[in-house]
Structure 1
Amino acid sequence: MAFVPQYFRVVRAEVIRVKAEPFVDAARVIGTGTWRIMFRHVLRNSVRTLPLIFTINASEAILTLAGLGFLGFGIEPNSAAEWGYDLNRAVADVTSGLWWTAIPPGLAIVLTVLGTTLLGESLTDLADPRLRRRGGPTATATGTDGGADDD
C-alpha cells in the first residue's frame, strides 16, 4: 500500500502528457467519442510503465528484506529461508577460510533482483502500443541496396 501514491502519480503524469499528443486531437477531429478516446488512446498509452515500476518495487523489497536479514532484523531464520541471514552467517565463514558459503545466497539475491527487473522491462515493452506492429509482419530488408555489385 505504500507504493500506491507512486503509481497514481505516474499514471496521472502520463495521462496529462498523452492527452496533449496529436493522435488524441486527431481522434477528436474525426469524431471519436470521449470514452473511446479515454480508454483506447489515453489510458492504454498511460499505463505502459506500470509493470516496470511494479517489478522495480518488488526488487527493492527483496533487497530490503535481504539487508534487514543480514543485520538481524529480518524474518525468524528458523521459520523461513532468508538470504540476508545466510549472508550474515557466511561472513563468519569467510574469516575461517570457507569463502564459498557466501556465493549461493549472494548469487540468489543478485539473480532474483536482476530477473525481476528484466521481467519488468519485457512486460513494459509488451504493454507499449508504440512497439506493436500494425497489419501483420512487416517486410524486412534483404541486405541489398538495389545498386550495382562492387565486385
Structure 2
Amino acid sequence: MLKRFVISLVAVLMVLSGCGGKKEDTTTDIQVKDMAAKLVSDLGLSDTVAEIQERTMYGYFFDMDKETVTEGTVYLNNDGKSDTVGVFRTTDVEKCKTYLNNYVETIKKQAEVYTQEEVFKISHALIKEYGKDIVVIIICNDIEAAKTTADKAFSN
C-alpha cells in the first residue's frame, strides 16, 4: 500500500514539475523581415512603401551603429510621404529607441518646411518594444490601427 502511494506521489510530482515553468521570451523566434512585411500588408501599405537596403537603414536610422541593431527591415514611402514601418532586433532597446526618436524628430523638422500635412502623422509615430530585443517603428495615417496591428502581430 505504501509502495503504491509513493509511486503515485512521484508520478504526480513529475507531472506537476512541467507545469510551473518560466515562460520563455518568444521574440527570439521572430523573423524580423517576415514581421515587417506582415505589418506592411496588414496596415494596407503594400502599394505605397518599399523595403530599403540594409546599408540605407543603418545610415538613416542608426548613424551606422551596427552593434546596437543586429537585424532590421524598414519600409519607407516612395512618393514623398512619411509612412514608415520598421522592425529591429537590438542588443540595447533604449539606445535603439533613442535612434528612432532622433529619426522622427529629423523628419518632423523636414516636414514642417516641405510637407506640413505630414507633421501630425510624424508627431504620433509608434515606437515600441516587444520582448527584450525587438523594437518597432510605424508612421502611418491611422496610428491607432497601427498600435492594434503591431500588438496583435507580436502577441502570437
Question: Is the TM value for this pair above 0.5?
Answer: no
More helix by share: 1
More strand by share: 2
Higher Cα Rg: structure 1 or 2? 1
> Which of the five TM-score ranges fits, normalised by the shorter chain?
under 0.3
Give TM-score, length-normalised by structure 2: 0.24
